[in-house]
């Protein structure tokens, strides 16, 4: 556990800068894979020694990893048509009954990989957001090679008086509800690059939110977020994947993202 937490502290820095997703290696044999971080639930599968998973989150003595593709999850068939989700939200369960645990939630119009049917329930492949849990006592985080640091050419800054303050643009509805946040471009950095970051949404300064990587004892801010407050509040304190353009402003160490997409409970990929 101590080794895992020490590495998480260093891994988050490289992760924020390189988008390299950390992986977990299983250190025991026949380790239980469960739908929730508790022994008081059905075992979904067994992990073998040396098997690797993509790391998603950690809580107490459990590690959340991406659900392996060999697992089968279930949704109620009446809420699916032509493999597309019909309601606004649909529970995905570990088995074909409401007695089974919810492993993730799908949103309207998401497509499913249907594998079969049983008693009105559809058997599906693990969709976006499917996470399972393994005891942290039988896992270790795999250290990735640190990315090479390439020195950027120095850019002579323009005189201060020529720099004009810029307000990050959002939609009209967001402007009507949130005070404008005054920012000044850092003209020495490349602006408007499209990128994606996973993390958990938290509140920051008025009119802004932030995306953080969370471990058991610390949080690392990945970027600030300028978006629709209604959407941000809906996913507040929730694991998401943000996709959008990033901008750099003066006196801020992390970029500011204006998200185009918010994917809840993402499955990470390399």
- Distance in angstroms (rounded) separating the CA atoms of residues 61 and 38: 9
Domains (range + CATH), the chain:
2-69+134-142 (2.30.30.40), 73-125 (2.30.30), 160-264 (2.40.50)
Mean pLDDT taken over the chain? 77
Q: How far apart are the first and last CA of the chain?
A: 25
Give the pLDDT band (50/70/90) at residue 132.
very high
pLDDT at 124: 95
Q: Are 264 and 238 in contact (CB under 8 A)?
A: yes
Predicted confidence (pLDDT) per residue in 86-109, tens digit: 998 899 999 999 999 888 888 888
pTM over 0.85: no
Cβ neighbours of 67 (radius 10 Å)? 28
Query: pLDDT digits over 150-161, tens only?
Result: 444 444 454 444
Q: What digits encode the pLDDT tens for the residues 109-122? A: 889 999 999 999 99
């Amino acid at each position: 556990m101590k080794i895992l937490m020490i590495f998480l502290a260093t891994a988050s820095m490289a992760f924020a800068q390189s988008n390299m997703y950390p992986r977990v290696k299983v250190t025991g044999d026949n380790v239980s894979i469960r739908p929730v971080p508790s022994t008081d639930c059905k075992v979904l599968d067994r992990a073998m020694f040396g098997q690797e998973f993509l790391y998603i989150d950690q809580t107490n003595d459990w590690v959340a990893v991406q659900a392996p593709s060999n697992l089968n999850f279930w949704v109620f068939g009446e809420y699916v048509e032509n493999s597309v989700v019909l309601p606004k939200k649909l529970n995905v369960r570990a088995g074909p009954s409401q007695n089974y645990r919810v492993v993730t939630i799908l949103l309207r119009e998401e497509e499913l990989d249907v594998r079969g049917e049983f008693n009105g329930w559809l058997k599906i492949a693990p969709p976006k957001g499917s996470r399972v849990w393994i005891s942290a006592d039988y896992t270790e985080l795999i250290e990735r090679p640190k990315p090479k640091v390439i020195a950027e050419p120095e850019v002579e800054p323009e005189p201060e008086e020529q720099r004009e303050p810029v307000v990050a643009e959002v939609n009209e509805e967001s402007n009507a509800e949130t005070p404008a946040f005054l920012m000044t471009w850092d003209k020495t950095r490349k602006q408007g690059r499209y990128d994606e970051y996973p993390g958990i949404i938290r509140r920051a300064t008025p009119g802004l939110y932030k995306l953080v990587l969370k471990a058991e004892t610390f949080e690392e801010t990945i970027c600030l977020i300028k978006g629709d407050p209604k959407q941000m509040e809906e996913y507040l304190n929730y694991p998401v994947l943000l996709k959008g353009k990033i901008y750099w402003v003066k006196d801020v160490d992390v970029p500011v993202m204006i998200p185009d997409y918010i994917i809840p409970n993402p499955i990470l990929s390399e």
